[in-house]
Structure formats: structure tokens, C-alpha cells
Amino acid sequence: MRPDTTALLRDLGFDAHWLVIDGCADFFGVTVHFHEAIQDPNFDVPINSDEIRMHQLGNIWNFEKMEEAIKKCDMLWVDDPQPIAMIPLIRAIYPDKIVVSRIHVQVNPIPSLKSYLRAIIQGELTEGRDSVLLNYIRGRLGVKKAMQMMENSYAAHAAVFHIQPFADALALDKVPVKILGPSINPLSCKNRPLPSGFVVETLKKYSILPADFDGSKPLPPIVTEISRFDPCKGPLEVIAAFIIAVSEHKDPSFRRTARLVYAGNIPTDNPSGISIFGIATRFLRNLPSSITSIEGMEDIRDRVFLLNLEDNIVDGKVVRDMIIKPTDNPFSNLTGGYLTPSQAKALEEGQPDALFSFAKADGGRVQNLSGRDINHLEVNALQTAAMVRAQFSIKEGFGLVVSEAMVKVAPPGHAHGVMVATDVGGIHSQVVQGCGFLTDFSNEEVDQSLEVYRNLKGWHEVEPARRLERESSQTVLQPLFDRFSNEACVKAFAANILTVFEMDEKKRAEMGEAGRNHIMKNFSTTGNVKNILDVFNDVIA
């Protein structure tokens, strides 16, 4: 359940809260393994008993931390595998609570994880594997009462997935299954229409535009992908596809101005993100001369921008950016978006300094908005400016970032954006006919792409920079461009980017508007809240 959904539920009179789990590095190391293993049946590292023990201990710790809030709830919506082991705890200790499990990532797990998740959701706890949970429940209830409980008393009341194939992958047969897509809030900082002045200032801030760009001319052709630095988001592939598309454009002046922005965060729950960021930069530096010798491509490296917007790398280490406590209420009502009236007025008048500024004296950012809201405004601006809104996912749950990209409105006088994405997970339900371009991605290509990342030396390490510096980037990274440029999916993705580049403005505008209308009709927050309440009503009935 997203924060804006929580906010709207509050506006409707529900005492809704968004609780965020925490944990030690070992716990998050296990959940990263879960995240990879749930999406890739060929992942070659099975879930072992020590990891299950750590996962259950982490869930018990979070359950106790949140217990006072849980006591006050009538209904709980447990999101994803990280906190999923809290379901049997809540069901056993507070049997009057309605508990729904929701998994939003792609579900195609390895056998060891499938059996574990299936058993947890259905309340089928066993003495060996689940002894940590069972012993805790017995300690809380007493052995006699715990033994008297029915096996399925531990089960969730329902399980929610984004699309039917994800539900089929777990083969649940004792718990009702519901199919429910996610949603976006079109009035939030991340999605609301922006004035061109703010968009231009954001691009200048990150040197995507020169400092003297005054906005009187159209923006240059920009391709933007907003994603975590994660192998499943295909950072190397989208760089390769962009470079191929630009190199094949017939106009040298176009080739001299096209830009790629890959912006996101280095996830705090997955330390390997630092390594992916480093590998992407080195991959870019080691482009072959066959590319950089093309007229108009000489400085292409300087026009690919890899942005970590969260500012969460300090001295080479990842730090947590934000934790929302159960008692916090960082949201205004939906109709006001997330901005105060004065902030909204400043934004509309193109006064970015009224929203944020930089304090060189202490090296920090002075904010009138929260750091998260400023981050969302910047993401909004980067997507709004894009002629091509790209998403080269290798693995994906629903891919809500696609809806967020498609809903953006181009500022007056600038090119409309068109979505180009891979056909994985739930993306096909967003990029329908006439609303953008989908690229087929075979299971074999998925496996091959992920294998490349696994084989890159040091990508999985927390601090790989020193190790990578010692490796020969010429032998490790340069051949990768040739490998990707010959991949059918990368070539097809590049062809779709080039198609958007070469479309006339009227056609781009029509396709962009069709995409926006489709998202507004099918994936808005208001409709999603109704669907969530329908799930709870069905369970209660």
C-alpha cells in the first residue's frame, strides 16, 4: 500500500498508517537474496535454513517494534516477502485481526523460496523450518493454547498479486487470491504538471542543460529512465540501446545533442547498488572507438547522466535516507497534493528557490519541502523533459514507474514524451496499443542478461570500487558493449527509441496523450483505494 493510498484512506475517515520495517545488515542481506530468488527460477543459490532463521528473527523483532500499532488495527495489509513472516505471528497472537498478504514484485521463484512463501501465506508452519516462529508463538500463548490452534489459524485471509501469472507461480490453494494492480497519485509532487521553468532549472542543476540555457528554445532530445541501480532494471542495456539509437540517426546535429538520463537511488536494503553504479560508469567510459569515431558521437559519454538522486552515499557507504515512523503523518490530503498553497504558488510561478536551495557554507541542502518531496519534484522534471521515457526492466513486478512516466504532461513548447519499455511483468497492461512501444524479452535473454551481471567481478560486494580499480576495465567492460549491441532485445529497444526520435511532433503528442489517458483511467489512486476496500469487504463477508 503506497503512502498516497494511506493518505486518501485517512481522508475517507479510516485511521490508516504506513508502517516501515527496519533491521540489521544480515536481515536485509537475506531479503535481498529473497528479492532475487523470487523473480528468477534459475537463480542458482537456494534459500538455506540459516537464512530462514534470520528472516523469522527479523520479523519477530519488527513485530514487537510495531505491536502497539498492530493492536489498534482492525485490518493489516502486509507488503512483500520482507515482512511476510509477521502474518502467522499476527494471526496467532491477535486472531481477531484481518490480515492480507500482498506481493508486488515479479513472482517466479526458485523451489526453496516457493515452498517457504507458500507455507507462510497459508499458515502451514513446520517444526523444523519454522521453529523460530513456532517457539515464539508458544512463548507468547503458552504451549497448550498454541497446540490447540488449528493449522490454518496462522494463514492470511487473502493474498494479493498484480497479475494472474504471479499468483499461479505460488499455487496457493487454501487462501483466496485477489488480482489488484497498483496506482499513482496524479496530484503528488512526483506526478503533478510542472511549469517549464522548473523543468529547465532541474536539468541545469544536474548539468543536463548548460547554465546559459534560458528555455526560449525547445529542449534537446532526452531519453530518461528512472530506476534503482539494480541488475533487474537493465542499466547497461539501456545505455547500450540509447547509444545504438543515437548512432543510427541520420542527422549528425541530432547525434550531437541527444542525451540519456538514468536517475534513481542506490537502494539502502541492497548494498550491491553501489557496485552497479560504479560498473555503469566504467562501462560508459570504455565505449569502443567504433562508436566514438562516428560524426556527432565524439562526446557521447558526456551526454549520458547517471544520477543518484537520494544523496545516500557518504564516504563510500550507504546510509538510510528516510524512515517513516508509525506515528508520523507526512501527507496532506489528496486534493492538495503534497504542497502547501504557498509552495504550489511558487512552483507555478517558476520560483525553484522558494522550494529548495543549496547552502555552500555547510555543504548541505536547505529545504522548505521534505527531502522526499524535492526528490519527487526532480524525478517529475526529468521524466517531463524526456522525449523518450524508457524502462528497460529485465525483471519486473508491475512496474509502476511506467505509469508515473506516462502520466507526465509536456510543458508548452516542448516535445511530448512517448514510453518505450520491455514487455516483462505487468508493464504490458500499462503500455497498450497506441500508447507507446513494447520490446519483447525472451526468458533466454533474461537469463543471459542477469548472468552478465553475476559474472562482473565485484558487483555483489558492498565496496567494490577499489577492487574494480585493480581490474582491467579494458578486458572486463569494453567487450560488454559489443555483447549488448548484438542482443536482439537491445537492438529492438534501440529501434523503438529511434522510431520515437524520428516521429513528427503531432504523432508523438497523440501517442503521449493516449498513454496519459490510459493511466489516468485505469491506475489512479482513487480507483485503487476502492479496490483495496473491496478486498477487505470480500474477506469480512
pLDDT in tens, 474-502: 344 446 777 777 788 999 999 999 999 99
15-24 pLDDT, tens digit per residue, is 988 888 998 8
| Phi and psi torsions of 520, nearest 5° | -60, -35
Span 196-316+373-522 CATH architecture: 3-Layer(aba) Sandwich (3.40)
Q: Tell me: pLDDT of 509 over 80.
A: yes
Quick check: do 3-183+528-540 and 196-316+373-522 share a fold? yes
Report the pLDDT value the prediction gives residue 366, as an integer from 0 to 100.
Answer: 28
Pairing of β 317-318 and β 313-314 = antiparallel
Q: Which residues pair with 421 in a beta bridge?
A: 391, 438
| Averaged pLDDT of the chain | 80
Report the pLDDT value the prediction gives residue 373, as an integer from 0 to 100.
Answer: 64
Going from the C-alpha of 43 to that of each of 37, 54, 269, the distances in angstroms are 6, 20, 19
The span from the CA of 451 to the CA of 467, in Å, is 20
The full set of domain ranges for the chain reads: 3-183+528-540, 196-316+373-522
Residue 367, helix vs strand vs coil: strand
pTM as predicted: 0.71
The mean per-residue pLDDT over the stretch 201-218 comes to: 89
Q: Tell me: pLDDT of 89 over 70.
A: yes
Q: Which of 90-104, 299-313, 348-362, 476-490 is predicted least confidently?
A: 348-362
The mean per-residue pLDDT over the stretch 156-167 comes to: 91
User: CB neighbours (10 Å) of residue 227?
Assistant: 20
33 within 8 A of 45, measured Cβ to Cβ: yes
The span from the CA of 493 to the CA of 236, in Å, is 13
Q: Tell me: pLDDT of 275 over 70.
A: yes
Q: Which residues pair with 159 in a beta bridge?
A: 101, 177
Fold entry, domain 3-183+528-540: Rossmann fold (3.40.50)
* Burial readout 228-261 (b: 16 or more C-beta within 10 A, e: otherwise): bbbbbbbbbbbbbbbbbbbbebeeeeebbebbbb
